[in-house]
Structure formats: C-alpha cells, structure tokens
Structure 1
Amino acid sequence: MHLAQRLSPPKELIFSALVSDAEARKLQRQAAAGLLCRVYVGVYAAKQSEEELAALVRRSWQRIVGVVVPGGVVSHISAMRGGVLPCAEVVLSHPTSFNKKIALPGLTVRLVRGPGPLPGDLSMGTTGLHYAGRARMLLENIGRKGGLRAPPEEVEHMLVSVLNASGEKAFNEIRDQAAGLAPAMGAEKSLKELRLIIGALLGTYAKGGLVTKVGMAVARGTPVDQERMARFEVLAAHLRITPLPHIEQALQGVARQNAAFLEAYFSNYVEGTKFDIQQARDIVMNNKLVPNRPKDSHDVLGVFRLAITRPYRGGPPLVGQEFLEGLETWHAEMLKMRPEANPGKPKLEVNYAGTTQFVNPAMVRGTLAEGSSLARSVPEGLARAIYFAFIISEVHPFDDGNGRLSRLVMNAELTRAGASRIIIPTLYHPQYVDCARALTRKNEPSGFVQSLAKMARWSSQFDYADIDLLIDSVRKTHALEESPVEYRLLNLDGSNET
C-alpha cells in the first residue's frame, strides 16, 4: 500500500524531517510519480486538486511556514491583521532570509529584513514561528506608507482600542517595551512617532476631546454597560434570597489532580476542543501532546494548570478596578501557547455568540469593575461563584477562552469557600447554555442558578482518588455523550439527575 493511501486523515501534511531518511526518499519518489503533492521542500500532502491543496496550505500555514522559514516572526501588517492577509500573503521578518517571496499553493510568504524573536514576541507553539508582540507590531507599522505597513489610521485606531480596553497603564507598558526594542529593530524614528501618537491620545483623553464615538465615551470617564449592570443586579438579588447547597469538599493529592483533569477535559470539550477522554488523560497526566494537535493539547493543559495551581485555584481575582487585571493574568497563563488569541489582552473588537452581542470593548473595564464589586453583596460560596461565572461570560472580555475562564473563576470561589468545584459535562452543556441564554435575553435567573446548583451536586458524587474508576463512573452517567435527545444525565447510583 502506498504511503499516500495510508495517510489519516487523507489530506494530512507529511514532513520529511519527521520520518527516516529512507521514508524521506520514498516521499520524493512518490511526489515525482504524482502520487503525492509536493507543497515545498520537505513538505508533502496526499494527492488532491489544486483548490483543495491551496485550502489545506492556508489552513495549516503556521506548521508549513515554520518549516519553510524556521525562526521567522509574523510581523508588520500581517501581525496587525492576524496573520494571513486577504490577498493570501503573510509577512515574516527574518534576520538572514529576506527581500524575497516564497510561493506556496494558495499562499505567498513575503520575507522582509528584521530581527528574529525579541522580548515580548509570542511563540506559535511548536511551529518554529513567533508572532510579533504588540510593541514590536506598532513600531513595524509606523513609517513610510506601502503594502508592508498598515495605514496610519489603523495604527491609531488600535491604540485607541488598547486605551479603551486596558487604560493608560497599557500605554505606559507599550512605551517602555518599545523603547527597549527600538535599538535592535533600528526603529528609533518609529519610536519617536509612536511616543507622539500616544502622548497626543493621552492628552486628548484627559481633555475629553476625542473624535471617535468610543473615544468620547472613554473621555467621559470609565463607561459602563448599563443594560448589563441591570441584569447583574437581577441575578444578584435572586442569589441573595435563593437557598443553595454548601457541599463541602477539600480534595488533596491525587484526588485533587484527577478532579482538575476532569474539569479541564469537559471545559475544553464543550468549547469544541474535543479529545477522547483517554487521549486527554495522556495529555494531562503524561504530558503526551497529540502530534497533529499541539495547540489543542495545550488548551487542555492550560485549564488544568489553573484548576490545580495556586493562586488561580485558591480564589477569584480581586474585585473592582483590579478585577480585569486579574483576569488578564489568568487568561495569559491559560492561553499562553495560542498567540493568535491575544493571551492576557482584552478584546479590541465587539464579539458575538449567535445573535448575542457582548459588551463593547470600551465598556469592558467599567462593566467588570462595577459588576465584580457587586459580587460583595452576594453570599459567599456557591451563590457568589454562580455570579462570577455569569458576569465573565456576559461581558466576554477576551477574543477567546471566555467560557473556560468563567468556569475557572467560578470554581476558584468554590475552592476558597471549601466547597465542591463544579464540572459541567458534555451532555448537560446544552441545557446550561439554554439557561444562561434565558438570563441574557429575558432577565430570568432561576434556570441558570438551578442548573449550576444541579451540577454542584452531580460533581460532588464521585470518588476522585482513582482515575480509572473515576472515568468509568463518569462514563456510566452518560456524561460523555453529546445528544440530550438520546441520553439523560444520570446520578452515580443510576437514578435520573434532578
């Protein structure tokens, strides 16, 4: 059987550097015979149409370009706009390979002269590439106009968005970081211009004279989403008077580790990062990453680290003005292997889930500050944990990872109160989402509160001391199933979950 016929999935990429010399020569022969597609030197794919191959290359560009240009940094306009441009081009800086373009099926790699990875640049997993950090990105996009750089108004818009999302502290960090990077980049002139733009924005910000709608809102103070605050008040009022269970549980040692694994597994699975539970066990317990899914593997590890490690495990971030800063730290740690998700950086654009529009970036800081302060009026333990879960989910402060983060903060409050942490299994997740949606759209909190109270009771049933028995017990409850039409979540004793 030909190697091309043994590929799984059939359009997976093959890298000759990962096989023996004999296999590499065989790949060359099969490509020459038309049995494989040659993407680039050392990179092959199963035989397919030109359109399919181009789509595969664009979909897997990070892995491929990391082999084609090891040590490259996604930079300039590509860094500003998230990687591959609409024209199917990606710009990379490289210290020794530059002033040329490399044509791949469906993608052109434009190489420009620039330093390799600098402090603040983000590693793109195991691909061999880095992604320009925010300060470097801004310096690279300031200067002479042309296709290499974003337009000046785009740079200014990004800075206004950063100011809206993270405040003057973020500007000070950008200026300090840019000053440290400019000599290595030969960007002293760009640094001077960046300082002028930031200074002008801060001066205008202080005088309340910004011209954009978002900027004017910031100039009036720290804007708050009043509709969301009213909803948070409804939830808080309901939680103050609703009797909820306090289920004591203080897991230690292996049991705590096993519970954190299960929490990380389900929290990622329900967000679309799907692994077989035994695969996920290998990832967490043996640090065995799935070869063709390293970032997904790190997603599971990221939640696991926060679920088991202090200070993340031991309690939620400080409420009030410091709440968002705390979330930024948690988010950066959780998604540190996904630079494209801007780990630790609040969103700069409005995000959506279906028809639901989450809080405008300009209002994230103020809404989280006021919303988290209101948590003090909610009883500690399960009630406050539920409240934290909702406000983070409802604000959606980051580009990605908001659901996972909301559950981690919820569970940190439970751990702080000595209570059982909550796991939301795959089978129950649609019902949980429906209850959250009723609160978001109709201001009806009872279903959301009761759904998490149910999951608190369900999660506390298991003996977490033995991982094999734990997985077997969870499987028997139908928790791993995906269809609530075909299955009903059971208790450990086989009774229906109520």
Structure 2
Amino acid sequence: MSLSKAGKRHSEDVFFTTADPALARSLQRRAKEGSLTRVGRGVYVESGSEEEVSGRIHRNWQRIAAHAVPGAVVTHLSAFAGGITASNEVVLSHPTRFNRRIRYPDLTLVLIKGPGPQPGDLRLGSLDLYWASQERALLENLSRGSATTRAARDAVEERLITCLNANKEAGLNQVRDRARALADPLDATASFDVLNRIIGALLSTHSKGVLKTKAGLAIAQGTPIDMERIDLFSTLATALRTAILPDITDVAAQGSARIHFAFLESYFSNYVEGTRFSVEEAEGIVLRNQIVAQRPKDSHDILGVFNLAYRAETRAAVPPVGDDFVDLLQERHRVMLERRPEVDPGHLKLEANYAGTTQFVQPSHVRGTLAEGSRLALTIPEGMARAIYYLFLIVEVHPFADGNGRLSRLVMNAELSRCGRSRITIPTLFHPQFVDCLRALTQSGRPEPLINALSRMGSWCATFDYADLAGLVSAMRSANAFEESPADFRLLNADGSRAT
C-alpha cells in the first residue's frame, strides 16, 4: 500500500500507522529525515514550528481520538465546549479504557469510564468516534466526577434555558423524556434527579431555590426579543413600503416549466451553500431519482429543496405570523434536511452562529425575534416587497445550525407564488454580489442594495423559457449563470444583454 493512499486517506497533514509494516517503516523513515514529526503512538504530522504542529493536531483531533481510542464518545465538558476545552483537553467516555490521559503536543485526551454509544449519540462521519447526545451530555455534566471534566452547573441550566426558548415547553419535555431513558444505561439516576428538578423549575413559576442563573429566574417574564434586529427589520420594511418593484406574473406556474424552475432553484440554492453537483448529476437526482451512491445526503439536500419548491402544499404556502411562523419554519427545515441528523433538522439552533464578524441572533432570542419580525411582514405590500422582507428576516436571525440560506429563499419564493408572481433564483455568478447586499443592510443599515439586487434577479429569471430543460440549461450557460468569478464573467440576460 502506498503512502499517498494509506497515510493520507484521513487528512492532508496527519498520518497514522496501520497493520501494514511497509507503511510504518515509511513513516519512521520520513520522521528520521525530518519531514514528519511523531506526536504520539502511531501518529505523525508534517513537521513545522511548535505552533504549526499544534495547529495540525487541533485541526485533526477527531481523527487522532478515533485512532487512539476507537469507539469512544466525546462527552462531559467537551460535548459542551465543541470538543477541545479551554485547557486543551478532550474528554472521552469508554467502557474499558479509562482513568488515563493520552498526551500529544498541546492536546490531551482524558479518558473516563462510561458506556459506549447510546441511542442519540452521533457518529462523526466515517470515524469510529461518537458525539454525546444533548441528553447524555446534560446528565454526565451533572455527575459527581472531576470538576475539570464537567461543565459548571450554571452552564447546564443555561443550555436548558436555550432549549426552552428555542423549542418551547414541548422541546424541553422531550429532553427530559430522552434523558430519563438514558439514566439507567449511564448509571446517572442521581444526575437525572437534578436535571428533572431544573427542568421542572423552568417549566413552572415555582423556581425559588432551584434555578441559579439570572436567565433562568427571568424565564417567567416571557420570550426575549433582539430589539436591535427588530429596528433593522423596521428599516427594511419602511423602504419596501415605498419601493418601486417589478411585478412579474409567474413565468413557470404549471407543467414542465414549473418542474424545471424548481429544479434550477434547488440546484443554485444548494450549489452556493456548498452542496455541489454538475447540472447533469443534479438533473438525474431530481428528475430520475438517481441518488449519487457516494453522496446520499447531498443528493437528498437537492431533493429536499426541490420538493418544497415544487409541491403544491409548500410551493405557495407562507408560514402564518407569530409563534406559528416559527413552528411552520421548523417543519419546513425538518423536511428539507431530514437526512442530516447532525444538523438537528426541525430544531432551532442551540449555539450562536456567525458569518465572518457578524453574529446572528442569540439562540435564546430566536423564537421571540422571529415571531415579532413575522408580524411586521403584514405591514408590507404583498408580493415582491414582502418576499424580500421574509428572506432577510430568516437570513438575519439565522435560526438553524444549517440550511438558513436555502430556507430563506424558499419562503421568499413561497410569498411570490402565493401572489401568482414569478419566483427568483440567485445564480452562482451573482451570489457574491447578493451576499454583499445582505451585508450592507446588516452592517450599515442600507436596504437599497438588497432591494435592487433581488428586483434585478426577479427580472432576470423572467427572461428565460422554462418549457424545455435542455434549452434552458444551454441558455443559462450562455448567460454565465453557472460561472463563479464575477471578476472574469458578467451575468447576461437570455437575449445576451447585460443583466448587472
């Protein structure tokens, strides 16, 4: 077996010995020559400064942990901290390997006795390594183990508060039920009793003596709202009420045209989010149900968006306002990403998320901000104006761990279809400018670039004939829609004139 195939099958800069003696000798020889550095038993990384070696170890900690302790579960404090803790440790549970530490430069694996993977624990890709379910992590962080391997009790309470704000009472009750089922297998009856008391206090006004955090004690005051975001939404709403926008009758409302538009809508929406297929592969997935064997989840991402864009029950159905808006949004998200359990489809985010330096709405404020923001939509003219508003509302709150961009475009288009107006796709070539327009509103409070951009895209989409897919794809290619570099290409209309 060659080094290029065996040694690099996990990563570009970390290598593992296997049962192949030739590979082991090759790695040892490269370490002796200085191109590799042995950082632990059977583990080598490309040589470099201490900082570079540390960075390679940190980037590949999951692979290293799976190699060192196959079958282990990332748990306790690490399950709360995203893996590596502030003290550069990863806490792992294993039924037979425990009470020891495995040290690497700037990283230590801390092994604790605990059962192997339980229902709800998530396997990390193809690695023999698992991530503790939320309920397992809550129970194990409430255990009586070492304080250095457990999250503080306040952190557990704050996590439960986030669950409550994100998924309401029903969601928190589900957490309790799943934790109850894990109490015996984890030998965590005492931890469950504590967890049960905290959840009971959060679901009741009788919280005195149980809840410890300010956020927990303030739960009874109602669902929090990000008022700065509501002010930003009001700025956009004010501009949309007076904006002169294109009013284009749906050019692909029925028959094959509707199928072909939904296909391209799903293709572009997924491509710009990193789910990339050739147009031909995507066509096979959508129109012939040819799931790509090596990429089943990506294939179902394409199908998920297509089905929501095409089917009558979702194509023109906009979520109602208030709490119902959030609930239906969660259902659309569940349907769209149901084959990706790792992103918790249908559940609001539990961790803060970012785009560059922009931090989106805090998890605890998501439900209230979406509910209040959706009410503001009814003050905006129907059709294009309200559609633009819905898109920005969802993008700016960013309520889910993944899929926010795709969902925002689906809800925008649902409003357009509800009013019999032509839907909008964002072609690959235009996506960088589209993101710049979103940023102008988020960071500078300027709504005009986003309004103008989506108006242009609405008009652009309507210049194409959607009846014949082969002709449509050819016309899109001629318009440079599938290109990625705005520096090298210009987006054209179907007639060859410049679109932007």
State how far apart, in whole Å, the 2-side matches of 1:66 and 1:454 are. Answer: 50
Cα distance, 1:233 vs. partner? 4.1
Q: Which deviates further from its counterpart, 46-55 or 484-493?
A: 46-55
Superposition pairs of residues 189-204 of structure 1, within 5 angstroms:
189-204=190-205
Equivalent in 441, 459, 484 of residue 457 of structure 1: 459
CA contact (8 A) 2:261 2:466 kept: yes
With over 3 angstroms needed to count, the CA separation of the structure-2 counterparts of 1:467 and 1:298, relative to structure 1, is farther
With over 3 angstroms needed to count, the CA separation of the structure-2 counterparts of 1:326 and 1:418, relative to structure 1, is same
Superposition pairs of residues 313-392 of structure 1, within 5 angstroms:
315-332=317-334, 334=336, 343-348=345-350, 351-353=353-355, 356-392=358-394
Aligned to 2:221: 220
CA contact (8 A) 1:218 1:362 kept: no
Q: TM-score, normalised by structure 2?
A: 0.79
Superposition pairs of residues 44-193 of structure 1, within 5 angstroms:
52-103=52-103, 107-146=107-146, 147-193=148-194
CA contact (8 A) 1:210 1:219 kept: no
Per-residue CA deviation, residues 38-69 of structure 1 (Å, 9 max, x unaligned), is: 77788776676775454334223334434544
CA contact (8 A) 2:429 2:485 kept: yes
Per-residue CA deviation, residues 313-367 of structure 1 (Å, 9 max, x unaligned), is: 5634443212223333444555567777555443445555455454344332222
Structure 2: gaps spanning 5 or more residues: none
CA contact (8 A) 1:206 1:219 kept: no
State how far apart, in whole Å, the 2-side matches of 1:441 and 1:383 are. Answer: 21
Structure 1: gaps spanning 5 or more residues: none
With over 3 angstroms needed to count, the CA separation of the structure-2 counterparts of 1:88 and 1:225, relative to structure 1, is closer
Aligned to 1:27: 23
Matched to 1:136, the amino acid is: R
With over 3 angstroms needed to count, the CA separation of the structure-2 counterparts of 1:439 and 1:52, relative to structure 1, is closer
State how far apart, in whole Å, the 1-side matches of 2:446 and 2:206 are. Answer: 38
State how far apart, in whole Å, the 1-side matches of 2:389 and 2:272 are. Answer: 20
Per-residue CA deviation, residues 386-440 of structure 1 (Å, 9 max, x unaligned), is: 2211111122223444333322322344455555442212332233234334444
State how far apart, in whole Å, the 2-side matches of 1:336 and 1:71 are. Answer: 26
Matched to 2:165, the amino acid is: N
Matched to 2:85, the amino acid is: L
Q: Secondary structure at the match of 1:181?
A: helix
Q: Which deviates further from its counterpart, 393-402 or 460-469?
A: 460-469
Q: Secondary structure at the match of 1:108?
A: strand
Cα distance, 1:369 vs. partner? 1.2
Cα distance, 1:453 vs. partner? 2.5
Per-residue CA deviation, residues 283-323 of structure 1 (Å, 9 max, x unaligned), is: 95754477xxx7xx846743541332456656344432122
With over 3 angstroms needed to count, the CA separation of the structure-2 counterparts of 1:97 and 1:47, relative to structure 1, is same
Q: Which deviates further from its counterpart, 42-51 or 135-144?
A: 42-51
State how far apart, in whole Å, the 2-side matches of 1:254 and 1:183 are. Answer: 56
With over 3 angstroms needed to count, the CA separation of the structure-2 counterparts of 1:443 and 1:172, relative to structure 1, is same
With over 3 angstroms needed to count, the CA separation of the structure-2 counterparts of 1:55 and 1:227, relative to structure 1, is closer
CA contact (8 A) 1:307 1:313 kept: no
State how far apart, in whole Å, the 2-side matches of 1:320 and 1:328 are. Answer: 13
Given the alignment of the two structures, is residue 497 of structure 1 paired with residue 499 of structure 2, yes or no? Answer: yes
Identity of aligned residues (%): 47
Matched to 1:403, the amino acid is: G
Per-residue CA deviation, residues 262-284 of structure 1 (Å, 9 max, x unaligned), is: 4445435545x375746974995
CA contact (8 A) 1:124 1:338 kept: no
Give the length in aligned residue pairs. Answer: 485
Cα distance, 1:452 vs. partner? 1.4
- RMSD over aligned Cα, in angstroms? 4.2
CA contact (8 A) 2:304 2:337 kept: no
Q: Which deviates further from its counterpart, 458-467 or 106-115?
A: 458-467
CA contact (8 A) 1:384 1:413 kept: yes
Aligned to 1:308: 307
State how far apart, in whole Å, the 2-side matches of 1:107 and 1:312 are. Answer: 48
Q: Secondary structure at the match of 1:160?
A: helix
